[in-house]
Amino acid sequence: MYPDFVYVGDELVLDFGEAYEQLQLDKLTATESNSLAELDLFLVSHAGEKFVEHYVDNELLSSSLIWQKIRMLAAKALDSFGWEYVEPQKSDAIYIGNGGASS
């Protein structure tokens, strides 16, 4: 989904935040809206310098209790929409690293 050189956790949270800000919450059911709000609140409350390692250390994605909770809340949100989990498509964003651009 992302190039190997990016901070995957940081990119995931940024992508969610951008999508959440663009949502028309009034078009969602209360259950859908609440599940997304719960995920957003957790992310906001686990942001900042105190938690930075969880977003810039890609190895913590699989072992961190914070990421376990994020996955649980994301699964709950998917369930509230009646959606099945499918692997996201590769982003069409362009990332610039030391070796140049990558998409």
pLDDT interval class at 100 (50, 70, 90): low
pTM (2 decimals)? 0.86
Other C-beta atoms closer than 10 Å to the C-beta of 48 total: 8
User: For 16-35, how does the pLDDT look when each residue is reduced to its tens digit (9 = 90+)?
Assistant: 999 999 999 999 999 999 99
Q: Is 103 exposed, middle or buried (0-12, 13-18, 19+ CB in 10 A)?
A: exposed
What is the pLDDT at residue 103?
A: 62
Paired with 100 in beta bridges are 97
Name, in order, each residue with C-beta under 8 angstroms of 88's C-beta and a sequence gap of 6 or more. Answer: 1
Tokens of 72: 């649980």
